[in-house]
Structure 1
């Protein structure tokens, strides 16, 4: 299962759906993974929210959940570039993915693993949500 920034922000900022996302992560058969690009984006979003301990909490969560941070590769960069061109902000596509979204999407497309995300932007791009698989079980 690939983790996207919005899912981790939901959990770490204790949004109403946080428990559901945690249960989904715990239920994963495959290892939890995250692009290093998404890791950086998550860190930046948490810092902008003003919680001084947020980045340390992210590091602790990643360690405890045994999330594997996978390097952003050249092949993923090419996939992400194509994704941003097709689905990115300013493309005219309803998904309107941001730059950071493309790190997670590229990893998911390259590996074939489901993406855990919050919201509908990825759904517009035709990406299945790992949360849907969890709820359907």
Structure 2
């Protein structure tokens, strides 16, 4: 199981340098999940970048399990922000990031993302790294 962050999905849709590696990780994963909070963020970000329809198609095509935010999930999101949030820690996770972090923590699974923010946390990483190419 791999939890997926908005940044990984946007990398694919925008053809960013890590898109091929992200797709490889997604294709090789036994199962994928995304928090409903992260899904909302992904759709908002994609709409603002004029790729909203493509985001919906990508998520459906990958068969990602959408995980609802329960009380324990909300607690995990809040705890993530208290520990790793903007203005609190150098990781500077935003509200949306905390849904992805919280799900990975709750499910005890790695998180697929692109960028540097989650690398400054204690989450297990399923992130493509440029130095591994």
TM-score, with length taken from structure 1: 0.88
Candidates 48, 60, 63, aligned match of 1:63: 60
Distance 1:22 1:132 in 2: 10
Corresponding residue for 1:46?
46
Unaligned runs of 5+ in 1: none
Q: 1:77 corresponds to which residue?
A: 74
Decide which of 102, 114, 118 is 1:106's aligned counterpart.
102
Instruction: Give the aligned partner of residue 16 of structure 2.
Output: 15
- Aligned-residue Cα RMSD (Å) equals 1.7
Residues 132, 22 of structure 1: CA spacing in aligned structure 2 closer, same or farther, 3 A cutoff? closer
* C-alpha distance 132-60 of structure 1, shift in aligned 2 (>3 A): closer
Structure 1 SS opposite 2:95: coil
With 19-28 and 123-132 compared, the bigger mean Cα shift is at: 123-132
State whether residues 22 and 128 of structure 2, in contact with CA within 8 Å, keep that contact through their aligned partners in structure 1.
no
* Aligned mates of 1:13, 1:6 — CA distance in 2: 10
Deviation of 1:99 (Å): 0.3
Ranges in structure 2 where 5+ consecutive residues have no aligned partner: none
Does the CA contact (< 8 Å) of 2:86 and 2:94 recur in 1? yes
Q: Deviations over 1:79-113 (max 9, x none)?
A: 1111101110121x110000000101111101101
Scaled by the length of structure 2, the TM-score of the pair is 0.91
What is the number of residues matched between the two proteins?
Answer: 130
Aligned in 2, Cα 1:106/1:88: closer, same or farther, shift over 3 Å? Answer: same
